[in-house]
Amino acid sequence: MRAGTSQRRGSRRCSGRGQRGQTLILIFLGAVLFGAAGAGAGGMFGGASLPVLRTHVREAMADQDLRAQVDRTLDRVVASAKRYDEDRKRFEADVFAQLARHDATPADLRPLVVRGDELHQRIRGEFLDLRFELRGQLTRAQWHAVFAGAAASAPVPASAP
């Protein structure tokens, strides 16, 4: 069937153009659910897990008071990541419930697209703020020691040579 044409299936009229719009929305929702939105704290903090970052902070910082300050910031990163994970799971459940409806229209899915975008923007903003806060707590040498170590500890993707 050519784009923009329609045909009858049973009692429902199917439009190639409407289906194409739904497909684009589904692709976008998939990217939000499983793509960049799933990067979370690891992507904003050098790709390493937070326990690895804590180890590198301990190695790079001799002052226990300053290290405790950094640990509190990292605790806030963990709390933010947990909140995001809970919000993302609720969002995913709502998306899959809507997608289970075979009569869902692009208009039905648009609020989910907006909600997914808002969720993604909120968590990225929180992580960026925490990253800047962390940057203010470390000297340049400590920052490089922590994140150079984190980069060396980060898992290498399977496709890397």
Mind listing the pLDDT tens digit for each residue in 68-100? 999 999 999 889 989 999 999 999 899 888 888
Please state the φ and ψ torsions of residue 13, each to the nearest 5 degrees.
-95, 130
Question: What is the Cα–Cα distance from 16 to 138, expressed in whole angstroms?
Answer: 56
Question: What is the Cα–Cα distance from 134 to 92, expressed in whole angstroms?
Answer: 31
pLDDT at 151 over 70: no
In a domain, 97, yes or no: yes
Q: What is the pTM of this model?
A: 0.64
In a domain, 72, yes or no: yes
For the CA atoms of 61, 63, 68, 70, what is the dihedral angle to 10 degrees? -40
Residue 54, CA distances (Å) to 1, 50, 62, 122 in order:
57, 6, 13, 24
Number of domains in the chain: 1
In the block, which residue shows the tokens 């806030």?
A: 76
In a domain, 91, yes or no: yes
In a domain, 13, yes or no: no
In a domain, 34, yes or no: no
**Beta-ladder partners of 13:** 8
Digit-coded pLDDT (tens) for 15-61: 444 455 555 555 555 555 554 444 445 555 566 777 888 888 888 89
Digit-coded pLDDT (tens) for 107-150: 888 899 899 999 989 999 998 999 899 999 999 999 888 887 65
Query: What does pLDDT average to over the chain?
Result: 75
> Could you tell me the residue range of the domain that residue 108 belongs to?
62-153
In a domain, 149, yes or no: yes
In a domain, 2, yes or no: no
In a domain, 73, yes or no: yes
